[in-house]
């Protein structure tokens, strides 16, 4: 019996496994992008200290990098959309049945 259940559920399990792998790959890519932005910021600070770039160039590039980093962090911290609870069903309307009357017996 369990063998049959496993055979019937194997396509569903396979699809779920694929979705989990895609989710993990996306999470790793986001983490890698965040690290790359942080490394670019460090390099930018070093360029400013060694006077390879001006203050204005530094400010413009820093703003772009910090905006990207903030956007990534906001996406990672954003809660999943909440599911709306189902609307309660209205109670069924009761209809009054007309009392069935027996036809008057004609005497």
Considering the domain boundaries, does residue 94 fall inside one? no
Considering the domain boundaries, does residue 98 fall inside one? no
Q: What per-residue confidence (pLDDT) applies to 86? A: 58
| Inter-helix orientation angle 2-49/55-77, to 10° | 160
Considering the domain boundaries, does residue 41 fall inside one? yes
Q: What is the DSSP letter of 50?
A: T
Considering the domain boundaries, does residue 54 fall inside one? yes
Q: How many angstroms separate the CA atoms of 39 and 50, rounded?
A: 17
Report the candidate in 84, 102, 31, 89 with the shortest Cα–Cα distance to residue 39: 31
Can you give the residue range of the structural domain that contains 70?
Answer: 2-77
CA 36, chain centre distance (Å): 24
Q: How many CB atoms lie within 10 A of CB 9?
A: 11
Considering the domain boundaries, does residue 35 fall inside one? yes
Considering the domain boundaries, does residue 13 fall inside one? yes
Considering the domain boundaries, does residue 22 fall inside one? yes
Average pLDDT along the chain, 107 residues, taken 10 residues at a time: 76 89 87 88 93 92 92 76 60 58 55
Q: What per-residue confidence (pLDDT) applies to 107? A: 52
Q: Count up the domains in the chain and report the number.
A: 1
Q: What per-residue confidence (pLDDT) applies to 74? A: 85
Report the candidate in 80, 84, 74, 82 with the shortest Cα–Cα distance to residue 23: 80
CA 45, chain centre distance (Å): 34
Distances (CA, A) of 68 to 15, 41, 47, 48, 107: 33, 11, 20, 20, 97
Q: What per-residue confidence (pLDDT) applies to 102? A: 56
Considering the domain boundaries, does residue 36 fall inside one? yes
Q: What per-residue confidence (pLDDT) applies to 65? A: 93
């Amino acid at each position: 019996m369990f063998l049959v259940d496993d055979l019937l559920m194997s396509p569903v399990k396979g699809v779920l496994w694929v979705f989990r792998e895609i989710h993990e790959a996306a999470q790793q890519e986001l983490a890698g992008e965040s690290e790359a932005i942080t490394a670019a910021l460090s390099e930018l600070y070093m360029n400013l200290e060694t006077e390879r770039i001006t203050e204005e160039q530094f400010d413009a590039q820093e703003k772009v990098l910090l905006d990207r980093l903030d956007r990534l962090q906001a996406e990672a911290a954003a809660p999943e959309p909440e599911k709306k609870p189902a609307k309660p069903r209205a109670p069924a309307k009761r209809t009054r049945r007309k009392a069935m009357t027996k036809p008057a017996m004609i005497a």
